Amino acid sequence: MTEPRDARTPFDAPGPIDVVRVFCGPDGRHGNELGVVRDGSRTPAREDRQTLAGKLGHSETVFVDDPERGVIDIYTPTLRLPFAGHPCVGTAWLLDAPELVTPAGVVQARQDGEFTWITARADWAPPRTLRRYGTAAEVDALPVPEPGEWIYAWAWQDEAAGRIRARAFPGRDDGIDEDEATGAAALLLTHALGRALNITQGNGSQLLTAPGPGGVIEVGGRCAL
């Protein structure tokens, strides 16, 4: 395992914290911000982790409990998740880890040029409402819905090529009205459609997916500090 990339430490954090943009677009912009607390042992209590995740305010924050084995713990600003896609992709890239151990299961990871890929199962992903629209323009025009339902709005841009336009609305009323890039939802959509996808989400993030044998799905994208 190579040495992890440089850390950033905001405010009075209990140790180094990186902010990683996950699923950047082809131009290197956009991506969903992820907070990674490298030394989770400094914040062992779940309630303290939840408080810090809320203070950071990212859609997800990861606590690395064992960097050698890749054991991680994932939080939104208001709840703990057994698995999430963009935290796994971003942490695998940051730590250059071949696998991550989450409460849902072991996530395999690999680097392929500018892309970091993870392999996971659709049934690990939290429930999402996959809502199809007729055109990409309809998805672009959507207002943020009222809180209460986690909605992944999508439409074909080019069905033959597997290109999709998507936006994600967590509906948790926790300050994250729209998710810029959502690996778990992309995983669920890939499972539902049964084919590889090239998803443009949010303001310009890109997610690539591919179904594999035995019900597993790969999700990949670019990452940057």
Same domain, 175 and 213: yes
Q: Which domain holds residue 99?
A: 17-106
Structure tokens that stand for 185 in this block: 């939802």
- Does 112 reside within a domain? no
Indicate the DSSP class of residue 8: B
Residue 4 within a domain: no
Indicate whether 63 and 148 sit together in one domain: no
Number of domains in the chain: 2
pLDDT at 3: 41
Structure tokens at 218: 């790969």
Same domain, 90 and 166: no
CATH code, domain carrying 205: 3.10.310.10
Percent of the chain exceeding pLDDT 90 equals 89
> Do residues 85 and 182 make contact, with C-beta atoms less than 8 angstroms apart?
yes
pLDDT digits over 180-213, tens only? 999 999 999 999 999 999 999 999 999 999 999 8
Mean pLDDT, residues 51-69: 96
In a domain, 149, yes or no: yes
**Hey, what amino acid is at 72?**
I
- CA separation, residue 41 to residues 71, 158, 165, 179, 196 (Å): 12, 46, 39, 28, 38
Residues 133 and 185 both lie in one domain: yes
Whether residue 14 is predicted with pLDDT greater than 80 in this model: the reply is: no
35 lies in some domain: yes
Assess if residue 11 is contained within a domain. no
**What's the one-letter identity of residue 192?**
A
Residues 203, 143 contacting (CB under 8 angstroms): no
Are residues 95 and 33 both part of a single domain? yes
Q: Is the domain of 133 the same as that of 216? A: yes
For 84-143, write each residue's pLDDT tens digit. Answer: 999 999 999 999 999 999 999 999 999 999 999 999 999 999 999 999 999 999 999 999
